[in-house]
Chains A and B, each alone.
Chain A
Amino acid sequence: MVDNSLELLLKNLPLLLDGLISTLTIALASVILGLLLGCVVGIAHLSRSSAVRTAAKIYLEAFRIIPVIVWLFVAFFAIPIAFNLTISGETAAILILSLWGGAEMSDLVRGALTSIPVAQFEAGRALGLSEIQLYRQIIIPQAIRRLLPGAVNLITRMIKTTSLVVLVGVVDVVKRAQQIIERTHEALPLYAFLFVLFFILCYPLSLLSRWLERKWPT
């Protein structure tokens, strides 16, 4: 049975790889956009203007409270009707995953920045550093150390969440596996394959996150 399963997987490997590329493209695009957005919004959380702070807070809470899949369906079903434009599953997926990742990232950035003791700012200023020097040489290096383990962990979560895109019609690796199952009626090996595949994608990142946490204890 195991031999047959392996043969089945090998025979359908090109199809599965094609789906995997689609999954990884969406994940990568969302991770890049989401992390960048998160840095901007994270700083906005600490803005002097209360309007900016409130806007950032509402954005964060909206994505915290309403599940990603609901947002995905809102983007996929409601945007086309509201703005009378067609939006592909891929676009909706990248849009929502980036926005969700950005919200989660912004909270990590805010946490990293606020965790730096005020004394660090005061000491930098007392040494006569300009604001740019202060941030470049004192604050940002420390903030990045506090931020990185959580950010890597967020990337794992985003890769896992990318599996939801199959529900808005994207032909990702899950969809490819389902197509093969429809043809061959061999559900178990293909779902086992997906299980192992996502584990291989995410586990190294989990290890990296834990290693970073140990390397730079806070």
Chain B
Amino acid sequence: MVFDLSFLTRHLPDFERALLLTVGLGVAAIVGSLVVGLLGNAFRNLPLPGARLAVRSYVELARNTPLLVQLFFLYFGLPSLGIHWSGLTCAILGLTFLGGSYMIESIRAGLDAVKKEQIEAGLSLGLSRFQLVRHVILPQALATALPGVAANCIFLLKETSIVGIIAVPDLMHLTLGLIGLYYKTYESLLLLTLAYLLMILPASWALARLERRLRYGRQFA
């Protein structure tokens, strides 16, 4: 077997483009999921009958079905109802749907860990409901939730790898295209693997650092 180096250099720009798109998609999905995670928890605690059940149902539905099926449903199923979304839109929506449910769970764990005395102390100091959430509950809850939230971010970055199935020109899509066109299986798979290393390794290092710093901070809290 001959390893074609010129193939690598020739298609490097393609991979660069696909990597940027994949990272952008991952970041969009992370931001969307965080918003869903925060709003979901806010909604969950509203004094509305059924609010808890609604959030719980969403979380269970999203967590117990594969992303592949969710994406196919959005991209190929919804047009039957007259809803036509582009592959990229479906990818962001699908990843946010899945990631949002994970974020709701992680943030809820953080909120549950805030001690009751903290809330009582805040109330007895005369803080308003908003001040209480803003200055007492959220800072503590988010610090506790951070490792889980961080793990969800890495999970989402990895999950972007399947959006190629709905025609989003991401890394996976590019690789399969190149294999199909030129039969350069090794070279394409090598570039693909390197691209994922480039994307996930720094993220996982950054999060490991963050966790260490949080633990350090807590010693003095």
* A interface residue numbers (CB < 8 A to B): 64-67, 69-70, 73-74, 77-78, 81-82, 156, 160-161, 163-164, 166-167, 174, 181, 186-188, 190-192, 194-195, 198-199, 202-203, 206
- Flag if A191 contacts B185 (CB, 8 Å): no
Check: B128 CB closer than 8 A to any chain A CB: no
Known: A194-B72, A199-B61. A164 touches B162 (CB 8 A): yes
- Flag if A195 contacts B73 (CB, 8 Å): yes
Alpha-carbon gap, A199 to B78, bound state (A) = 19
Alpha-carbon gap, A191 to B90, bound state (A) = 15
Known: A65-B204, A73-B175, A167-B165. A195 touches B60 (CB 8 A): no
Q: How far is the CB of A172 from chain B (nearest CB, A)?
A: 11
Give B163-221 interface residues, CB cut-off 8 Å to A.
Answer: 165, 172, 175-176, 179, 185-186, 189, 192-193, 196-197, 200-201, 204
- Flag if A187 contacts B61 (CB, 8 Å): no
Interface residues contributed by chain B, number (CB under 8 Å): 38
Residue in A77, A161, A190, A203 whose CB lies within 8 Å of B64: A203
Alpha-carbon gap, A74 to B176, bound state (A) = 11
- Flag if B189 contacts A73 (CB, 8 Å): yes
Check: B158 CB closer than 8 A to any chain A CB: yes
Alpha-carbon gap, A163 to B68, bound state (A) = 7
- Flag if B65 contacts A67 (CB, 8 Å): no
- Flag if B69 contacts A198 (CB, 8 Å): yes
- Flag if B176 contacts A73 (CB, 8 Å): yes
CB neighbours (8 Å) of A186 from chain B are 80
The 8 tightest CB contacts between A and B, nearest first, are A202-B64, A67-B161, A191-B77, A188-B80, A163-B66, A160-B66, A191-B73, A188-B77
Closest residue of chain B to A162 (Cβ to Cβ) is B66
Taking A67-B161, A77-B189 as known contacts, 6 extra A-B pairs with beta carbons closer than 8 A to each other, sorted by chain A number, are A69-B172, A77-B179, A174-B72, A191-B72, A195-B65, A203-B60
- Flag if A65 contacts B201 (CB, 8 Å): yes
CB neighbours (8 Å) of A187 from chain B are 76-77, 79-80
Contacts A/B (CB < 8 Å), 21 sampled: A65-B204, A67-B158, A67-B159, A73-B192, A74-B189, A77-B185, A78-B185, A78-B186, A82-B1, A167-B165, A187-B77, A187-B79, A191-B73, A192-B77, A194-B72, A194-B73, A195-B65, A195-B70, A199-B64, A202-B65, A206-B63
Closest residue of chain A to B80 (Cβ to Cβ) is A188
Check: B53 CB closer than 8 A to any chain A CB: no
